[in-house]
Amino acid sequence: MYNDPRSHGLWEMTAPPPPETSPLQGNVTVDVVIVGGGYTGLSAALHLAERGTRVILLEAKQFGFGGAGRNVGLINGGMWTMPKELPAVLGPVYGERLLDLLGGAPLVVRELIQKYAIDCQLQTHGTLHCAVGKSGLEEIEERCRQWSARGAPVKILDAEETARRVGTRAYAGALHDSRAGTLQPLAYARGLARAAQNAGAQLHTESPVLSTERQAGNWIVKTAKGSVTAQWIIVASEAYSTGPWEVVRQEQVYLPYFNFATKPLNKAVLNTILPGKEGCWDTREILSSFRLDKEGRLVFGSVGALRNTGLAVHRAWAIRSLQKLFPQIGKVEFDAEWYGKIGMTDNALPRFHKFAPNVVGFSGYNGRGIAPGTIFGKTIANHVSGDITEDDMPLPLTEAKEQKLRSIKELYYEAGAQIAHIAGARF
């Protein structure tokens, strides 16, 4: 994308084409204008258009340009934090609402894919959170206890069962979550865009918002070649935000994350690696993730940026790690390599902001964009339609503020990942 093969890698190589769009030109009047063409914005556009709401979406680049088109493609329920931590941080009301909403979010993703026949390589066999050592096993056992207490379909697999399902004896066990799964993330974003457009939403790419102004109770949102007059603005630009809502980016620290995709593995090897097609990630502080795509490529990722010295460091580490985890692969060869930026809030939880009257948005997905983005898009569509008040939202209303020492933290994450990966694979 934009002549950068390391921006979207395998996903751009294998995704169906996006729907035809063009930059906004001229002046348009609608009910709602959405800024951002990732999962949240596209989901909101789709759910509003289904209601018959006049809605227009403005994307600065292309659908899925940000995190939506660069990630691993795991459809997870909940957040990185333990379930009990949400009520502890957000209070019992919002904490319980958020857990209920996010716990069922993967099923909403599945329903949309089925309803609109979205071609995105959906796999519904769950995910495996793989335990590294005794401490990792204790972590997933506690996570399992907390989700099981809420009735979630999760279970602990012992080391033998984990080895059978994953194809390596590197792990002490795994937490299987049958709500979860995998998909082709850029294909899913493009599929949501096509569904929203078919439902009546107006979609415009290459249309960055330059400014806004309040006039006679409405908002006027201006781009280089046009403007939109609307009652509501939904801000869905997330961690790649620029322009009027750059504070959304500033309240998050960028955590770089890369992926390498092997060449398609032969059938004999595929019979031994993830035969159930689950998506995986481990319990290390600098974690690794892996899953298969439709053609049998093993997609393997970790923290780090594929630029400058990081490119050679992380590529060499990925090769060493795959050789240790899955020696049955033999020589490791890659078809694609890419990386993106995960927006991390200071408490690893998402945010709900009201930037001005009738200007609202969710942000801060902390590496859990697919299911939360989809369900938050639906939720915010319900809010601007009048079905959900601010008091009924799954998150409290908070002010967007720049995170302290943001630049220093970002340098630390990028450099720290290189140092850790130079030290070698520790499986």
Q: For position 423, what pLDDT does the model report?
A: 84
The model carries a pTM of 0.97
Which residues lie across from 289 on neighbouring strands?
281, 301
* Residue-level pLDDT at 424: 72
Phi then psi for residue 22, to 5 deg, are -150, 165
Task: Summarize pLDDT for 90-104 with one digit per residue, the tens.
Answer: 999 999 999 999 999
Q: Are 206 and 23 in contact (CB under 8 A)?
A: yes
In angstroms, the first-to-last Cα distance of the chain is: 34
* Pairwise CA distance, residues 212 & 222, whole Å: 6
Query: Residue 281 burial (CB < 10 Å; 0-12/13-18/19+)?
Result: buried
Q: What is the 3-state secondary structure (H, E, C) of 225-269?
A: CEEEEECEEEECCHHHCCHHHCHHHHCCEEEEEEEEEECCCCHHH
Give the model's pLDDT for residue 1.
Answer: 87
The CA-atom distances, in angstroms, between 155 and each of 38, 152, 267, 272 are 32, 9, 29, 22
CA gap 27, 4 in Å, rounded = 33
Q: Which positions of the chain have pLDDT values less than 50?
A: none
Q: What is the pLDDT of residue 41?
A: 98
Residues 6+ apart with CB under 8 A from 137: 131, 172, 173
Q: What pLDDT score was predicted for residue 426?
A: 53
Q: Which residue in the block uniquely carries the two structure tokens 């899913």?
A: 188
> Quick one: CA dihedral 404, 406, 407, 410, positive or negative?
positive
User: Who contacts 216 (Cβ-Cβ below 8 Å, separation ≥6)?
Assistant: none
d(CA 272, CA 165): 8
